[in-house]
Structure formats: C-alpha cells, structure tokens
Amino acid sequence: MLIIDGKKVSSDLKTEMKVRVDAHRATTRKVPGLTVIIVGEDPASQVYVRNKAKSCVEVGMNSSVIEMPASTSQEVLLAKIHELNANSDVHGILVQQPLPKQIDEFAVTMAIDPAKDVDGFHPENLGKLVMGHLDRCFVSCTPYGILELLGRYNIETKGKHCVVVGRSNIVGKPMANLMLQKLEATNCTVTICHSATKNIPAYTRQADILIAAIGKARFITADMVKPGAVVIDVGINRIDDPSTKSGTRLVGDVDYEGISPIASAMTPVPGGVGPMTIAMLLKNTLQSFERVNGLL
Ligand SMILES: NC(=O)c1ccc[n+]([C@@H]2O[C@H](COP(=O)([O-])OP(=O)(O)OC[C@H]3O[C@@H](n4cnc5c(N)ncnc54)[C@H](OP(=O)(O)O)[C@@H]3O)[C@@H](O)[C@H]2O)c1
C-alpha cells in the first residue's frame, strides 16, 4: 500500500515556492503578503493562525495577523476587510473561522475581494471552479491540496468513480466539483454522499477513489472500501487515548489500520491532507501576487 505523504509533498512545495518568492523579490523588490484576521480566542484557531504565519515566513512571504476581540461587531470586521481590500501590499486575506455568533460568515465571505480570496470561499471563485476555469480562480485550499497529492503520486483519475462523503462548502462540494472537471488530473464519475444518504456503504464500496470529509472519527471502515481503492482522509478528530502523554490523539474519518491492508494508496492522519491545506494557501497567495504583478 502506497502512503500518500502530504508532509513531504507540502515541504517540497514550500521549497519550490521559496525559490519563486526569492526570484520575485530580486526582480520586483516585492514579496507576496498574506493577512489573517482572527476574531476571538478559540485555542484551535490560534494554533492554525500561528502555523499559517510560520509557513509564510518559511517561504519568504510577508505575513500579518490581526487579532480582534470576540465582541467585535460585524460592521467593524467588514470595515477592516475593506481596508485590506484596498491595500496593495496585501495579496491574500483570510478570516479564520469559526466566527462569533454576532457575525454573519457569508457576509464576511462576500466582503473579501475575490482577487484576494485565497481561501477560495467567495462565490465568484467557487463559480469559476464549477465552470472549470481553475486558472482564473482560487481553488479552496483543502480540495486543491488533494488534487496536488493525486497529481504528484500519479494516481489515475480519468474515468474512475470518485465518491466524496461530505458536502460542506469548504471541502465536499468543491472537491466533488473538481473531480468532475474535464482535466488531466480529474475527469472522474462523481458521487456525493451526506448525512441523508441511505446505505452509504453501497456507494463507498463502488469507489475507485474515496474521499472522506465527514468529521466523524473512523467513520469509514474496511467493509465500506473496495479492494485496491485510493482512500483520501480529510477528517481531523481528537479522540481519547490514555496511552499518550496528553491523553488524546488525532485520527481521521477513516479507519487507517483496518483499511490499509486492502487499499492501494492512502493518506495518513496526521501527515496527509492537513499539511497540504496550508501549502495551498501559500500557493494561492503567491498566485495572487503573480497575477497583480503580471508575473504569470
Ligand atoms: N485536513 C484539513 O486541512 C482539513 C480542512 C478542513 C476540514 N477538515 C476536517 O474534515 C472534516 C470535515 O470538515 P468539514 O468542514 O467539511 O465539516 P462539516 O462542515 O461539518 O461537513 C461535514 C459533512 O459530513 C456529512 N456527514 C456528517 N455526518 C455524516 C454521516 N453520519 N453520514 C454521512 N455524512 C455525514 C455532513 O452531511 P450534511 O451536509 O448532511 O450535514 C456534511 O456534509 C472535519 O473532521 C474537519 O476537521 C480538515
């Protein structure tokens, strides 16, 4: 069984991006800049934001984090986004989710200039993705990272049956739409399953490529997988484990131990899809910079 190593691919990608950022700095005296806004003090969000900032620095990009109190009004947050939209040193804007209750997440998504929406959540970017204009949009980072993994590991996709379990706007829906595109690394027959799907195993057992984005620990078990399938695990779930120092550990939406003897290739958790998400955020920020500076 082939282990699809997202940690290694993301590290390779960062090395490649650093070379490009350094070259751009030498020729234009400018570098890409990502600004992340965090509202409130959610500890998990703070870790994600710190990791994003650290990764920016690793590839030579500018990164800034704007911390706003949990009591921030929608009006104040939107004003900050408009200010960043107008700032030519900012090439990517990301508002870390979840947001406090008083803030409408959709209004925030709509406020970000689509040309700086490096998360790929804006309907203009999602719409272009659905229409197959991947070179003119930002693809949301997790599905984009999975596409990159499939490509780098030469996983055959054309004509394959891809089953995506989960239909969130940030993972499941863009993922399924990507795999449907008539492109070299996609071109699949696609099925989407969700919480109202009856008899999910009947669908997952038909999958040549199975992508799990559910948010339920080890939901996909060996009896749900066709022998030889490629299994991509998006899930990040913390479960109790008294054998570890912290008393918990991370597992995916897939039962890795049970499925690895029958799958042909799999992503581990951690070290699979997770590291790719940040790498693709940087890639989108670099792309934004290259677009505005005519470097593409
Ligand atoms: N690795 C990464 O970088 C990364 C990035 C993003 C997310 N994640 C992880 O990926 C997982 C999914 O994230 P998300 O944002 O897509 O989650 P989400 O918004 O909660 O969506 C979960 C999806 O799974 C479906 N679902 C839930 N229970 C189900 C069940 N029993 N049977 C079938 N489908 C079910 C839901 O169906 P309904 O639509 O019917 O409710 C929904 O479409 C989470 O563990 C998250 O932490 C990882």
Q: What is the 3-state secondary structure (H, E, C) of the chain?
A: CEECCHHHHHHHHHHHHHHHHHHHHHHHCCCCEEEEEEECCCHHHHHHHHHHHHHHHHCCCEEEEEEECCCCCHHHHHHHHHHHHCCCCCCEEEECCCCCCCCCHHHHHHHCCHHHCCCCCCHHHHHHHHCCCHHHCCCCHHHHHHHHHHHHCCCCCCCCEEEEECCCCCCHHHHHHHHHCCCCCCCCEEEEECCCCCCHHHHHCCCCEEEECCCCCCCECHHHCCCCCEEEECCCEEEECCCCCCCEEEECCECHHHHCCCCCEECCCCCCHHHHHHHHHHHHHHHHHHHHCCCC
Task: Measure 71 CA to ligand 1 centroid, in angstroms.
Answer: 28
Report whether 265 contacts 233 (CB < 8 A): no
Task: Find out whether the beta carbon of 195 lies less than 6 Å from any atom of ligand 1.
Answer: yes
At residue 182 the predicted structure's pLDDT band, cuts being 50, 70 and 90, is very high
Q: What is the 215 CA–ligand 1 centroid distance (Å)?
A: 4
Query: Mutate which of 168, 280, 282 to test ligand 1's pocket (most atoms within 8 Å of Cβ)?
Result: 168
Give 64 Cα–ligand 1 centroid separation in angstroms.
Answer: 29
Q: Residue 174 in contact with residue 143, Cβ under 8 Å?
A: yes
Give the residue, by CA position, lying nearest to ligand 1 atom 5: 142
pLDDT score recorded for residue 42: 92
Contact 67, 7 (CB under 8 A): no
**Does the pLDDT of residue 61 top 90, yes or no?**
yes
- Domain at 28-116: CATH architecture: 3-Layer(aba) Sandwich (3.40)
- Decide whether any atom of ligand 1 lies within 6 Å of the 170 Cβ: yes
Q: Is the pLDDT of residue 68 over 90?
A: yes
CA dist., res. 118 & res. 282, Å (int)? 8
Average pLDDT of the segment spanning 79-104: 97
**CATH 3.40.50.10860 domain position(s) in the chain:** 28-116
Known catalytic residues? Answer: 52, 96, 119
Mutate to test the pocket of ligand 1, among 139, 198, 214, 254 (most ligand atoms within 8 A of CB): 214
- pTM tops 0.95, yes or no: yes
Percent of the chain with pLDDT over 90: 99
Ligand 1 atom nearest 277 alpha carbon: 3
pLDDT band at 87 (very low <50, low <70, confident <90, very high): very high
Give which of 172, 155, 147, 190 is closest to 265, Cα–Cα: 155
What is the average pLDDT value for the chain, to the nearest integer? Answer: 97
In one-letter notation, the amino acid at residue 271 is: G
Name the segment(s) of the chain with CATH classification 3.40.50.720. 140-274
Question: Which range, of 57-61, 232-236, 292-296, averages the lowest pLDDT?
Answer: 292-296
CB of 33 sitting under 6 A from ligand 1: no
Ligand 1 proximity of 214 Cβ (cutoff 6 Å): yes
Taking residues 27-38, report their average pLDDT.
97
What CATH superfamily classification does 140-274 receive? NAD(P)-binding Rossmann-like Domain (3.40.50.720)
Please tell me the distance from the alpha carbon of residue 188 to that of residue 132, in angstroms, as a whole number.
Answer: 14
Question: Any residues with CB less than 8 A from the CB of 236 and at least 6 apart, and which?
Answer: 250, 252, 269, 270, 274
Pocket test residue of 49, 194, 254 for ligand 1, highest count of atoms within 8 A of CB: 194
Dihedral sign computed on CA atoms, order 81, 87, 92, 96 = negative
Residue owning the nearest CA to atom 1 of ligand 1: 274
- What lies within 8 Å, CB to CB, of 154 at 6+ separation is none
Nearest CA to ligand 1 atom 35: 195
Tens of pLDDT along 139-166? 999 999 999 999 999 999 999 999 999 9
Strands 237-240 and 230-233, how do they pair? unpaired
pLDDT exceeds cutoff 90 at 296? no
